[in-house]
Amino acid sequence: MKLAEIVGYQLDMARCATLRSIHRLLDGSGLRPADTTALALVREQPGCSQTVLGRALAANRSVGMKVANRLEARGLLTRAEGRDGRSKGLYITPEGERILAELLDLHGEAEIRLAAHLEPEERGELLRLLSKVQQAIEEEEAELRHSSTIRSAGSPAGRETAGHHA
């Protein structure tokens, strides 16, 4: 099999090219591509947790916390009562809204560059296909989590833990 035929390799190369492009556009701003994701997510899901943010960044809670801390220090996000009332939720500030609008404009420029060789219908098809690839991986991960839960519940320690949470 040639590299040009390996879907994962091609996705990785496209991702790297995308990041290089957006980093060039963000150069000098002190902002990162993850900042756009974070601000957009918090605007769409006010009060979301750092864990939710970490997942949206394809990472974990600690990454979500680092990004949230950095954006909070710049006055772009704030923390207040979370959705469950026990934790802190993230909220976008007016300055965050302003910066997000600028970031989305820059990302729009990057989108134009990325799709320069695609017809409009090809762009839609690419997005549809990428969604299917992501769905396949999410289903695999859900199955792995389910299998792991079953295995741990079957062990003596797992039965105690499983019963303790019930």
Q: Are residues 129 and 111 in the same domain?
A: no
**Three-state secondary-structure class, residue 93:** coil
Cα–Cα dist 80/43, whole Å: 14
Q: Are residues 125 and 51 in the same domain?
A: no
How far is residue 68 from each of residues 31, 37, 147, 155, 161, measured CA to CA in Å?
13, 11, 33, 38, 33
Domain extent, residue 159, equals: 120-166
Q: Are residues 86 and 133 in the same domain?
A: no
- What are the tens digits of pLDDT across the range 16-38? 998 899 999 999 889 999 999 99
- What are the tens digits of pLDDT across the range 91-126? 999 999 999 999 999 989 988 998 999 999 999 999
Q: What is the pTM of this model?
A: 0.74
Number of structural domains found in the chain: 2
Shortest CA distance to 102 belongs to which of 25, 50, 45? 25
Q: What is the CATH number of the domain that holds 72?
A: 1.10.10.10
Q: What percent of the chain has pLDDT over 70?
A: 92
Q: Are residues 71 and 144 in the same domain?
A: no
- What are the tens digits of pLDDT across the range 54-66? 899 988 888 889 9
Q: Are residues 85 and 129 in the same domain?
A: no
Q: Are residues 83 and 12 in the same domain?
A: yes
